[in-house]
Amino acid sequence: MNKFWVITKEVYKKNVKSIGFLIMVLSPLVVAGIAIAIGYFTSQDAENAEAPTLAIISENPAVQEMLSQEGSPFDIQEDITTQAAAEEALLDESLDGYLTIEESAGSIQAEVTHNDSLSDYIPVLNEQLATYQTMVRANELQLTQEQVLSLSEPVTVQESIVNIKDGELVTEENNDTFVQEFGAYFVCIGIFIFIMTYASIIAEEVANEKGTRIMEVILSSATAGNHFFGKLAGVILVILTQLAFYVVVGVIGYFFAKDLSFIQTFLNEVDIWSIVQQLLGYTIIFFVTGVLMYVILAAFFGSLASKMEDVNKSVTPIVMIALAGFYVGLYAFVSPENILAVVFSYIPLFTPFVMPFRIASETVGTLGVWISIVGTVLFTILLTAVSLAFYRANVLIYSDSGIIGTMKRSWSVMQSNRKAKKAKKANG
Sign of the dihedral through C-alpha 417, 419, 420, 426: positive
Total number of domains in the chain? 2
- Whole-number Å distance between alpha carbons of 147 and 131: 14
Give the pLDDT of residue 302: 76
Q: What is the structure's pLDDT at 359? A: 80
* DSSP structure class, residue 73: S
Beta bridge partners of 64: none
pLDDT at residue 379, as a whole number: 92
Of 33, 43, 44, the residue nearest 256 (C-alpha) = 33
Tally of CA atoms within 13 A in the half-sphere of 171 that contains its CB: 5
In a domain, 304, yes or no: yes
For residues 94 and 52, is the Cβ–Cβ distance under 8 A? Answer: no
Q: Are residues 211 and 351 in the same domain?
A: yes
Is the domain of 412 the same as that of 360?
A: yes
Looking at 97, 117, 151, the residue that finishes a domain is 151
- 79 within some domain: yes
209 and 323 housed in the same domain: yes
Which residue range is the domain that position 215 belongs to?
176-427
151, 168, 195: which is the final residue of a domain?
Answer: 151
338 lies in the same domain as 392? yes
Give pLDDT tens digits along the chain (428 positions).
677 888 888 888 888 888 888 888 888 788 877 877 776 677 666 556 667 788 888 877 777 777 777 667 777 777 887 888 888 888 887 788 888 888 776 677 888 888 777 777 788 778 777 777 777 777 777 777 677 667 667 666 665 666 666 666 656 555 556 666 666 777 788 888 888 888 878 877 776 666 565 655 565 667 777 878 888 888 889 888 988 888 888 888 777 766 666 566 666 666 666 656 655 677 788 888 888 888 888 887 777 776 667 777 778 888 888 888 888 888 887 888 888 888 998 999 999 888 888 887 778 888 888 899 999 999 999 988 888 877 777 665 555 656 666 666 666 666 666 666 666 666 65
* Sign of the alpha-carbon dihedral angle for 280, 285, 291, 295: positive
Same domain as 217, residue 109: no
Cα Rg of the chain, angstroms: 33
